[in-house]
Structure 1
Amino acid sequence: MSIVEIKQQATQKMQQSLESFQHNLTKIRTGRANPGLLDTVHVDYYGSMVPISQVANVALLDARTISVSPWEKGMGAKIEKAIRDSDLGLNPASQGDLIRVPMPAMTEERRKELTKVVRAEGEHAKVAIRNLRRDANDGVKKLVKDKLASEDDERRSQEEIQKFTDRFIADVDKLVTGKEQDIMAV
């Protein structure tokens, strides 16, 4: 494996870590409704657990309400129960075929709790990115040790690896700040 391949692989994995972090942030609820909030909720569909999005249409009614329209009439009660039993703290209300999921207003205490969760998730993402940097640097050092690259190449590549590590960590910080602002907005 060459230095270029090591850097490409590290960049790719860091990008995946960033995307995973972004996905994790969508699961943390803010005061606003977000259809992605129900992605983690699974419902029993003829003996197998499937995401709600595979058995119903999930959409926004307004800024604070998610609507869930089951594709089969018999699924309404199961979907409602799955949402209620999830750890999201939501209380769905059935109106015929439509299930309305109002987003309760968050207390100041809950907002502060969620910002701590966001910061912790951000820190986990940063640690993952730093571990990838370490792995890439170790790969470059191994090439130098095996006499496949010079020490100058090692120093240059470590500087480049550090630059894109810093860039990804800055991206994580931006995402954390943005999510905190979303959470703290009343």
Structure 2
Amino acid sequence: MADDFELDTKDLERRMDGAMASLRTEFASLRTGRASASMLEPVQVEAYGQMTPINQVGTVNVPEPRMVTINVWDKSLVNKVEKAIRESGLGINPQMNGTIIMLPIPELNEERRKELGKVAGQYAEHARVAVRNVRRDGMDQIKKAKADGMSEDDQKFWEAEVQELTNQYIAAVDEALETKQAEIMQV
């Protein structure tokens, strides 16, 4: 009956890759003391009756290591963009120059670095949980196939495959976290 069972490991891998991609996006939004256009990705602006990402209302540039500039295309949105940045919680004070908004990136103090390290740890834990949830789904599929008549040897083989895949992704999450925390603590 279930002798022809084959677990879709590509699907599990794809879903675990999604967790890693989400983690990378969250890490990119953490400010490390260096200017990065990706730190503005989570910021949304009320434009034309809907919430819009900043990079869709202006050009985001990083002209210097400690400066991000936004050249807003529509003059009527400049104040809305500035307000969205102030209220975003990034801890950046925008400076206006016509339609260009300059964001000087201040040095991070030790306390703020530790705080950001903890936030990075929380993001990593969310990614680990997502990977483990995919693992659980895979194990549930195997248990169902076992109930449908799969041999115990096949069950052990597939469980080992899922566990190995899970271990790889958990290790990748841990490595990404270590790298990000080192980047945050770098003065």
Class of the TM-score when normalised by the shorter of the 2 chains: over 0.9
Corresponding residue for residue 23 of structure 2: 21
2:2 corresponds to 1:3: no
2:96 corresponds to 1:81: no
| 1:52 Cα offset (Å) | 0.9
2:184 corresponds to 1:183: yes
Q: How large is the Cα RMSD of the aligned pairs?
A: 1.4
Secondary structure of 1:40's aligned partner:
coil
Q: Contact 2:7/2:138 (CA < 8 Å) preserved in 1?
A: no
Letter in 1 for 2:7: V
Corresponding residue for residue 97 of structure 1: 99
Letter in 1 for 2:127: A
- Give aligned-pair identity as a percent: 40
Q: Gaps spanning 5+ residues in structure 1: where?
A: none
TM, length-normalised to structure 1: 0.93
TM, length-normalised to structure 2: 0.93
CA separation in 2, counterparts of 1:39 and 1:121?
A: 16
| 1:48 Cα offset (Å) | 1.8
Q: Contact 1:3/1:140 (CA < 8 Å) preserved in 2?
A: no
User: How many pairs were matched up?
Assistant: 184
Corresponding residue for residue 36 of structure 1: 38
Corresponding residue for residue 46 of structure 1: 48
Deviations 1:143-169 (CA, angstroms, capped at 9, x unpaired):
01111x321111011111111111101
| 1:60 Cα offset (Å) | 0.4
| 1:65 Cα offset (Å) | 0.7
Q: Gaps spanning 5+ residues in structure 2: where?
A: none
Q: How does 1:31-180 map to 2 (within 5 A)?
A: 31-147=33-149, 149-180=150-181
Q: Contact 2:68/2:102 (CA < 8 Å) preserved in 1?
A: yes
Letter in 1 for 2:6: I
Q: Contact 2:37/2:60 (CA < 8 Å) preserved in 1?
A: yes
| 1:87 Cα offset (Å) | 1.3
Runs of 4+ off more than 4 Å: none
